[in-house]
Amino acid sequence: MHISELTHPNQLKGLSIRELEEVSRQIREKHLQTVATSGGHLGPGLGVVELTVALYSTLDLDKDRVIWDVGHQAYPHKMLTGRYHDFHTLRQKEGVAGYLKRSESKFDHFGAGHASTSISAGLGMALARDAKGEDFKVVSIIGDGALTGGMALEAINHAGHLPHTRLMVVLNDNEMSISPNVGAISRYLNKVRLSSPMQFLTDNLEEQIKHLPFLGDSLTPEMERVKEGMKRLVVPKVGAVIEELGFKYFGPIDGHNLQELIDTFKQAEKVPGPVFVHVSTTKGKGYDLAEKDQVGYHAQSPFNLSTGKAYPSSKPKPPSYSKVFAHTLTTLAKDNPKIMGITAAMATGTGLDKLQAKLPKQYVDVGIAEQHAVTLAAGMACEGMRPVVAIYSTFLQRGYDQIIHDVCIQKLPVFFCLDRAGIVGADGPTHQGMYDIAYLRCIPNLAIMAPKDEAELQQMLVTGVNYTDGAIAMRYPRGNGIGVPLMEEGWEPLEIGKAELLRSGDDVLLLGYGSMVYPALQTAELLHEHGIEATVVNARFVKPLDTEMILPLAQRIGKVVTMEEGCLMGGFGSAVAEALMDNNVLVPLKRLGVPDILVDHATPEQSTVGLGLTPAQMAADIMASLFKVESPVAPRVS
Q: Active-site residue numbers?
A: 283, 370, 398
Instruction: State how far the Cα of 76 lies from the Cα of 23, in Å rounded to an integer.
Output: 10
586, burial (CB in 10 Å: exposed 0-12, middle 13-18, buried 19+)? exposed
Q: Which stretches of 73-120 are assigned E, i.e. beta strand?
A: none
Residues in the chain: 638
Helical H segments across 305-369, by residue range: 321-335, 347-350, 352-358
CB 532 within 8 A of CB 623: yes
Half-sphere exposure (Cβ direction) of 365: Cα atoms closer than 13 Å:
27
CA distances from 139 to 102, 166, 550 (A): 16, 9, 55
Classify strands 65-68 and 138-143 as parallel, antiparallel or unpaired.
parallel
Q: For the chain, first and last CA: distance in Å?
A: 41
CB 64 within 8 A of CB 57: no
Q: List, in order, residues 6 or more apart from 94 with CB less than 8 Å away.
A: 600, 602
Q: At 115, phi and psi to the nearest 5?
A: -80, 165
In this structure, the number of other CB atoms found within 10 A of the CB of residue 518 comes to 18
Buried-state track 535-560, b at ≥16 Cβ within 10 A, e below 16:
bbbbbbbbbebbbebbbebbbebebb
Tell me the sheet residues that pair with 248. Answer: 275
Category of 272 on φ-ψ map: left (φ > 0), alpha (ψ -120 to 50) or beta: alpha
Category of 584 on φ-ψ map: left (φ > 0), alpha (ψ -120 to 50) or beta: left
Nearest Cα to Cα of residue 244 among 175, 179, 188, 182: 188
CB 171 within 8 A of CB 142: yes
3-state secondary structure of 19: helix
